[in-house]
Amino acid sequence: MKTKFKSIIRAACHSIGGVVCAAAVMLIASSAQALNLVASSAGGTIYVFSSSGAQSTFASGLFDPEGLAFNSAGNLFVADYGNNAIQEFTPGGAQSTFASGVYYPEGLAFNSAGDLFVAAGGTRIYEFKPGGAQSTFASGLSNPIGLAFNSAGTLFEADYYSGNIYEFTPFGTRITFASGLSYPQGLAFNSAGDLFVSDLVGGNIYEFTPGGAETTFATGLNDPQGLAFDSVGDLFVATSVGNIYEFTPGGAETTFATGLTIPTFLAFGPVPVPEPSALGLLAVGAIALLVRRRRNLAA
């Protein structure tokens, strides 16, 4: 497929000139470099969506996968909740077990040093070095689920049963950042440093400024869970009814995907997904220009 497509590009470049060829190369490069949305689901599947919404299955056969996080190398880490393990996938989909014996892992997050933080066991947050060495970062929590680092490297945690959002210093000292939520779950920071929190039972998405001021960003959702921001600042929200919604920074809502089996956590990363529409458009355009040029020469 790739070889055949390169042949089409070569023919087009030869026949229609460098400008169109350069445009074609730019289209291919932008498609390859785009970050794609990855979603875990209670059905044991990891879905991947292209920027245009094309859906494919990246991995299957997991046991209730939960948290997702990409490391700096582009490998995807998955909290395999039912198997008490952390699975690691290369961008091409090769799977290996990064850690086992992790009791009911849920939320995942990487810090800038490449250490993986895991909310697990209903009371703890574990820290794993890139080589796999494990330590306990925090304990005494009440079902920690969502984890996220802000730009300063501070870890935030959604404490499901207590209804609190905790902030941790690099040494693990816990500070209450927000309280009074109804089963908070997903966490995500936008580029301005505001923290967004999905409130599962309340059906709301809350926005917190770095200073802790709270506003309601969205309401009326059915069990909002995982959150993730794309590169232009749109917020994606997984809901247990099988939908993923997309919100612009101004709060305008659209449905990005439907019919999924209880999507839980979301993440953006460099996992490849076919973009047939882009490739087809490029091939058709190249052929059309080639035919037009030949007709002009014949005339």
CATH number of the domain at 144, please: 2.120.10.30
Range of the domain at 276: 1-35+272-299
Q: What is the per-residue pLDDT for 130?
A: 96
Is there a single domain that holds both residue 85 and residue 203?
A: yes
Sign of CA dihedral 54, 145, 153, 202: positive
Is there a single domain that holds both residue 74 and residue 195?
A: yes
The three-state secondary structure class of 221 is coil
Which of 39-43, 71-75, 204-208, 295-299 has the least mean pLDDT? Answer: 295-299
Give tens-digit pLDDT for 50-84. 988 999 999 999 999 999 999 999 999 999 999 99
Is there a single domain that holds both residue 66 and residue 195?
A: yes
Residue 270 has pLDDT above 80, yes or no: yes
Residue 29 has pLDDT above 80, yes or no: no
Identify whether the C-beta of residue 159 lies closer than 8 Å to the C-beta of residue 142. Answer: yes
Is there a single domain that holds both residue 86 and residue 168?
A: yes
User: What distance in Å separates the CA atoms of residue 34 and residue 32, rounded to the nearest whole number?
Assistant: 6
Identify whether the C-beta of residue 286 lies closer than 8 Å to the C-beta of residue 16. Answer: yes
Is there a single domain that holds both residue 57 and residue 43?
A: yes
Is there a single domain that holds both residue 220 and residue 285?
A: no
Is there a single domain that holds both residue 19 and residue 51?
A: no
Is there a single domain that holds both residue 238 and residue 282?
A: no
User: What distance in Å separates the CA atoms of residue 123 and residue 144, rounded to the nearest whole number?
Assistant: 6
Cα–Cα distances in angstroms (integers) from residue 155 to residues 105, 114, 119, in the given order: 17, 13, 12
- Give 42 or 280, the one with higher predicted confidence: 42
Percent of the chain with pLDDT over 90: 76
- Quote the number of domains for the chain: 2
Give tens-digit pLDDT for 228-253. 999 999 999 999 999 999 999 999 99
User: What distance in Å separates the CA atoms of residue 246 and residue 299, rounded to the nearest whole number?
Assistant: 51
Is there a single domain that holds both residue 217 and residue 289?
A: no
Is there a single domain that holds both residue 191 and residue 78?
A: yes
Percent of the chain with pLDDT over 70: 80
